[in-house]
Amino acid sequence: MEIYTSGPPTRRTTDRIKVGIADFAVGDRESTLSTSGLGSCVGVALYDDRVGVAGLAHAMLPHGEGKSDEAKYVDTAVGALVEAMEREGASRRRLVAKLAGGSTMFEFKSTDESVGDRNVDAARATLAALAVPVEAEDVGGDHGRSLELDGATGTLHVRSASAGQQML
């Protein structure tokens, strides 16, 4: 299995695949995909149970159409992640999504939505356009999160120093 990230694909050398900020990766049933430092960023976990292909994106900003760094933006990162998963045998029709992050980490005096809210909205809209259902979410709030996606089960483990742990 090739590991797809925002850089050139590399071969897996371990069962743990770290996903950086503005990055995404694809793994299989033997993989655990992890990312940390989700504040206003949104983590999008995708899973195809039939073939055991899992994917995780850590995107920073909502929209990047026409921009070169596709993994940095929610809308383009989700599309690229779906395509990478399809190359590994996943079917878009079988994918389910789980979302985490999108916090409001800082208060600004503005009438606009926070970056976290806009990231979550962009993730939901992009997944809806791709007909990928969102199965579970842990979004919003004012705390950071770390994620681990279990490639064997599709379970998304969400950890936060201030909000504890949960499994989606």
The rounded distance, in Å, linking the Cα atoms of 75 and 132 is: 13
Identity at 17, one-letter amino acid code: I
The rounded distance, in Å, linking the Cα atoms of 7 and 22 is: 10
Catalytic residue set: 41
Q: Are 104 and 144 in contact (CB under 8 A)?
A: no
**Tokens at residue 70, please?**
């596709």
Tracing tokens 């045998």 back to the chain, one arrives at: 89
The rounded distance, in Å, linking the Cα atoms of 66 and 152 is: 35
Q: Are 23 and 41 in contact (CB under 8 A)?
A: no
